[in-house]
């Protein structure tokens, strides 16, 4: 199990909000689009029960342009 395993939808959303993301719209099925006005980035998050697969969370962070270490710490790493 990697560093990004074991995160649930609610935990991911809580952390994304700290990075400036907000709910944008409902997508197909149980997926949601989240948007950050400051960075002009979108990411798609599946709203499922249980833990999200590690690969899915990596893809979310890649779309959102969030560093894995920053996500784990839960804060933006300002240069």
Domain coordinates in residue numbering, the chain: 12-66
- Give the number of other Cβ atoms within 10 Å of residue 25's Cβ: 9
Share of the chain above pLDDT 90, in %: 82
Q: Architecture of domain 12-66 in CATH?
A: 2-Layer Sandwich (3.30)
* Torsion angle defined by CA atoms of residues 68, 53, 55 and 48, in that order, rounded to the nearest 10 degrees: -90
pLDDT digits (tens, 9 = 90+) for 54-69: 999 999 999 999 999 9
Q: If pLDDT is split at 50, 70 and 90, which confidence band does 74 have?
A: confident
Is residue 43 scored above 60 in pLDDT? Answer: yes
Average pLDDT taken over every residue of the chain: 91
CA dihedral 7, 1, 42, 72 (to 10 degrees): 70
Does the structure show a pLDDT above 70 at 51?
yes
């Amino acid at each position: 199990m990697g560093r990004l395993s074991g995160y649930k939808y609610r935990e991911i959303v809580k952390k994304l909000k700290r990075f400036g993301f907000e709910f944008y719209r409902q997508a197909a099925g149980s997926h949601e689009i989240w948007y950050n006005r400051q960075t002009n980035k979108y990411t798609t998050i599946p709203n499922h029960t249980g833990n999200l697969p590690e690969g899915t969370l990596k893809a979310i962070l890649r779309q959102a342009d969030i560093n894995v270490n920053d996500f784990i710490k839960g804060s933006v790493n300002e240069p």
